[in-house]
């Protein structure tokens, strides 16, 4: 098993509070917000009415009527504006803030998160190894156990784990089903929410979408934006790329569904294997 490592993330958040906060978020997020107990958290989509992605968020219930909706750094204002836009005659306040997330990855991550001594242990979005996050809304952030990953190391680990981020893998053109995260971001029993129709329609048709998020293992480093070709035809483009001693050259890309995992494709003149991303939490 991989050794325990840590990384500190500066993220943005919307704090939604008030007697109707739970009911409001229940109608805006793809997850079952009403089912969260205090201290509970879940990953969710915040969608446009047409069903495309406004943001990938994590919602944490920090009190009976208070929720922290955190997202990638630099996207908090967009989340606040989106939530405010649909709040009509609702007894809930929405305020933006910055938060810190201590990300723990590797053997013993959950135990380390529970014993950190500050913040709230929350659900991590990760593949391939034990993972836990601690959300710190205010107050000092204690030192995390294990060696700290620098920015390059974290980016490479994120890519290998197949975790999409806003501005790279996720934009207003993204369909949630393309990301491989539906199982951990959507409740199909909670009732209606903004953007539900597209998500439900694709699910009812077997989840078929034109492209899928894949891990690429190129023979040499590639760059974000590099075009992908399979059988002489365009098959996508790289969204994120990294190269560290621990991972070697790796990349994420949306690849056309005709390309089968295990196949090799051309990425800007570099041979690369297409790898199927496993389930979250495995």
CATH code of the domain containing 267? 2.40.30.110
Give the position of tokens 């969204």: 239
pLDDT value of position 1: 61
CATH number of the domain to which 116 belongs: 3.30.1360.120
User: Does 190 map to a domain?
Assistant: no
Which residues of the chain carry a pLDDT beneath 70? 1, 282
Q: Which of 61, 114, 129 is nearest to 280 (CA)?
A: 129
Q: Tokens standing for 175?
A: 């369909």
User: Does 134 map to a domain?
Assistant: yes
User: Does 177 map to a domain?
Assistant: no
Asked whether the beta carbons of 103 and 9 are under 8 A apart, the reply is: yes
Q: Look up the domain containing 46 and give its range.
A: 5-161
Asked whether the beta carbons of 220 and 272 are under 8 A apart, the reply is: no
Q: What does R_g of the chain's alpha carbons equal in angstroms?
A: 19
pLDDT value of position 214: 98
Q: Which of 209, 213, 129, 208 is nearest to 179 (CA)?
A: 213
145, 231: one domain = no
28, 153: one domain = yes
pLDDT value of position 282: 47
User: Does 203 map to a domain?
Assistant: no
151, 246: one domain = no
Asked whether the beta carbons of 95 and 15 are under 8 A apart, the reply is: yes
Q: b vs e for 75-84, b when ≥16 Cβ sit within 10 Å of the residue's Cβ? A: bbebbbebbe
21, 148: one domain = yes
Measured CA angle at 56 (ends 177, 174), to 5 deg: 45
44, 130: one domain = yes
Other C-beta atoms lying within 10 Å of the C-beta of residue 220: 12
What is the C-alpha separation between 281 and 169, in angstroms, rounded? 20
User: Does 191 map to a domain?
Assistant: no
What is the C-alpha separation between 104 and 113, in angstroms, rounded? 7
């Amino acid at each position: 098993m991989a050794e325990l490592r840590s990384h500190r993330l500066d993220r943005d958040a919307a704090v939604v509070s008030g007697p109707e906060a739970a009911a409001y978020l229940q109608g805006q997020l793809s997850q079952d917000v009403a089912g969260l107990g205090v201290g509970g958290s879940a990953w969710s989509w915040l969608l446009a009415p047409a069903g495309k992605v406004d943001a990938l968020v994590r919602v944490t219930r920090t009190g009976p009527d208070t929720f922290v909706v955190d997202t990638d750094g630099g996207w908090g204002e967009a989340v606040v504006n989106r939530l405010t836009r649909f709040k009509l005659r609702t007894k809930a306040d929405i305020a933006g803030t910055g938060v810190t997330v201590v990300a723990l990855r590797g053997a013993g991550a959950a135990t380390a998160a529970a014993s950190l001594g500050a913040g709230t242990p929350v659900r991590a979005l990760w593949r391939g190894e034990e993972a836990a996050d601690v959300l710190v809304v205010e107050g000092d952030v204690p030192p995390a156990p294990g060696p700290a990953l620098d920015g390059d190391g974290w980016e490479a680990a994120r890519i290998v784990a197949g975790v999409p981020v806003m501005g790279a893998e996720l934009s207003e053109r993204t369909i949630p089903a393309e990301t491989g995260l539906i199982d951990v971001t959507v409740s199909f029993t909670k009732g209606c929410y903004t953007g539900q129709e597209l998500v439900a329609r694709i699910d009812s048709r077997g989840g078929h979408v034109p492209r899928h998020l894949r891990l690429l293992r190129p023979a040499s480093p590639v760059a974000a934006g590099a075009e992908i070709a399979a059988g002489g035809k365009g098959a996508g483009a790289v969204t994120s790329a990294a190269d560290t001693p621990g991972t070697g050259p790796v990349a994420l890309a949306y690849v056309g569904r005709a390309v089968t995992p295990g196949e090799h494709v051309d990425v800007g003149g570099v041979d690369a294997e297409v790898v199927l991303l496993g389930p979250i939490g495995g």
